[in-house]
Chain A
């Protein structure tokens, strides 16, 4: 959220500074109250939106769970005894035990870390690719834009799940970090296109602004204009898209792990637990329901958070 607030603050200042050409003259003539900026309006909308608060609370809870799983459960997720296979709730295991005799709830709690890690890293990778490609295409236009836009079209046309299957089948290593890295790489490689389009269009809007012309007149180079002037003003929509993408990356990781080509055994992941729970659903339902609920809530939280922020910032909906 901190980046987002910085952007909101700069926009506020820009609005207060008033139209270019009258440096120092405040925008409000005769009116004592502050002019209402887009970010201010959006924040007022968001404050009254219950979906925003619910999803924000969920995101905070799951982030805490990923960082400090020990706070949420006292049981070790790898403490499995076949003798208590599918046993009912007892002791700290509030949702009973799964097929291997592990604590269902504890496994779900510890599974948060891998899911959020993959989601966040994939969103970060996506963000970097999208920013570079979108910035270059939007800023330079002409043939750079033409080439990069075609590349976006082609990558957008690749079905994500099928491509991920082909790519991940190549990864034979079973080490924990190699698999996490591979899944992140595949998701970032295939998922950056939407964000890149968003960055491109906001860069195109931003580069026509007066402050860019002013910076150019003062002799600023391309890279300085791009990173110091255009980037801060076109970051906000990209961050919203990336929040939604983070949710769908978590879902994609779980799907790949479910299929058996994503994260593997020593790593605890919801996708795998859902798969084993599904196979034994007739004997015990909780090992299926618990990780399913965790996964669905996490994905929903990120998607709804991004959706709420985007709606608040879209003046057309007002």
Chain B
């Protein structure tokens, strides 16, 4: 167990350096003149140029210079120093304000997925090939097939603007009610996947030998399902939902952008729109780390939850 976690940690460190290297190489290295890019249209005096060259070690050329600046970037990233956006705000501060909102939204989405997805999945798995099962399967296929850029604006228009059931946009300090509709939209995809996963897993476990044993012992169906089948069926669902939490936190760009929720995804959305390079790179770097860590946590969780999984 310990060795397994250690090995996964080492893999993650490798993946971290790999992805940050790619992000860095693609965004910073190889661009024309970084100093001119920083200054925009204004002329740069030789003194300023010399100062910036000295500060960022831009005179070191070739592979050595590239890695020197890459190490600088990683060092800053690890210290939480993400630099400033083009509008002059500290990116760390922006993220600090944005995280709580994004986490709240992700938790609402996850709750929606668990409450509706898992319970409907259990029912569909028990009553396979019933009307309920078939209609949920078609519904989940629809939800999985409709992209967020269709779902989010249409939900906003019909439920928010036309029928006014929910507030169409969230303000700077969103309430739970304002986050509910975006949470449902964001969670619908995980809901559909969780439902299908639960259904398949329950249906498979119902055929297992231990269920037959339990039934022949004379246990009532309710007890078989709740105590025996559910405990074994929910293992893949729990791990999926863990991965999803990581995805939801990093993948809410469209939903937060459409509903005007001041979270991390919204800031990334705005950064892309206003061509704010440093802001985009800073946020993407942090999100990649979040993604990697959540994957690691889930892998370890999986190993803890399911004793059948062996790790050398």
Contacts and interface: CB of A to CB of B under 8 A. Distances in A.
Contact of A161 (B153, B253, B281): B253
B280 A165 contact: yes
B10 interface: no
Contacts of B250: 159, 162
Contacts of A300: 141-142, 145-146
Interface in B121-179: 138, 141-142, 144-150, 153-154, 156-157, 161-162
A139 B311 CA distance: 27
B53 interface: no
A295 B147 CA distance: 8
The main secondary structure of chain B at its interface with chain A is: helix
B15 A274 contact: no
Given A162-B250, A300-B146, A292 B153 contact: yes
Interface in B238-294: 247, 250-251, 253-254, 257-258, 268-269, 272-273, 277, 280-281, 284, 287-288, 291-292
B27 A159 contact: no
A245 B82 CA distance: 36
Given A259-B253, A261-B272, A278-B153, A299 B27 contact: no
Contact of B26 (A170, A255, A295): A170
A157 B288 CA distance: 10
A281 B161 contact: yes
Contacts of A281: 153, 156-157, 161
A288 B154 CA distance: 8
B19 interface: yes
A299 B287 contact: no
Contacts of A265: none
Contacts of A169: 26-27, 272, 277, 280
Contacts of A292: 149-150, 153-154
B23 interface: yes
A281 B66 CA distance: 47
Nearest to A257: B149
B277 A307 contact: no
A33 interface: no
Given A162-B250, A258-B254, A296-B147, A288 B27 contact: no
Interface in A285-311: 285, 288-289, 292, 295-296, 299-300, 303-304, 307
Interface string A150-162: 0000100111011
A255 B161 CA distance: 23
B142 A165 contact: no
Contact of A278 (B138, B258, B288, B295): B258
B280 A303 contact: no
The binding surface of chain A is classed by DSSP as helix
A80 B285 CA distance: 41
How many of chain A's residues touch chain B, expressed as a range? 35 or more
B156 A259 contact: no
Contact of B147 (A165, A251, A285, A304): A251
A274 B27 contact: no
B141 A307 contact: yes
Contacts of A254: 147, 149
A259 B257 CA distance: 9
B146 A259 contact: no
Given A166-B23, A278-B153, A296 B145 contact: yes
A254 B147 CA distance: 9
Interface string A167-191: 1011000000000000000000000
A251 B18 CA distance: 28
A251 B151 CA distance: 12
A247 interface: yes
A166 B284 CA distance: 8
Interface string A40-62: 00000000000100000000000
A258 B149 contact: yes
A179 to B, nearest CB: 15
A96 interface: no
A295 B153 CA distance: 13
The 7 closest A-B pairs by CB, nearest first: A300-B145, A251-B147, A278-B153, A292-B150, A303-B145, A258-B149, A296-B146
Interface of B: 15, 18-19, 22-23, 26-27, 138, 141-142, 144-150, 153-154, 156-157, 161-162, 247, 250-251, 253-254, 257-258, 268-269, 272-273, 277, 280-281, 284, 287-288, 291-292, 295
29 contacts: A154-B15, A157-B295, A159-B251, A159-B288, A161-B251, A165-B272, A167-B26, A169-B272, A170-B26, A247-B145, A254-B147, A254-B149, A255-B147, A258-B149, A259-B253, A259-B257, A259-B269, A260-B273, A271-B149, A274-B149, A278-B153, A278-B156, A289-B157, A292-B149, A292-B153, A299-B146, A303-B145, A304-B141, A304-B145
Given A259-B273, A296-B150, 7 more contacts: A154-B15, A255-B149, A255-B254, A259-B269, A289-B154, A299-B147, A300-B141
